[in-house]
Amino acid sequence: MELGQMQKSLQDYTKSLFVEGILDSQFLQLPQLQDESNSDFVSQVVSLFFQDSDRILNDLSLSLDQKVVDFEKVDPYVHQLKGSSSSIGAQRVKNACVVFRSFCEQKNVEACHRCLQQVKQEYYLVKNRLETLFKLEQQIVASGGMISAMDLGF
Which residues make up the interface to another protein (CB under 8 A)? 26, 29, 32-33, 35, 38, 41, 44-45, 48-49, 52, 76, 79-80, 82-84, 86-87
Closest distance of CB 122 from another protein, Å:
18
How far apart CA 98 and CA 4 sit, in angstroms, is 40
| Residue 91 CA to its chain's centroid (Å) | 8
Q: What angle do CA 46, 149, 122 make, to 5 degrees?
A: 35
Closest distance of CB 10 from another protein, Å:
23
Closest distance of CB 40 from another protein, Å:
11
Q: Give CA separation, 13 vs 17, 49, 108, 130, 149, in Å.
A: 7, 21, 38, 10, 15
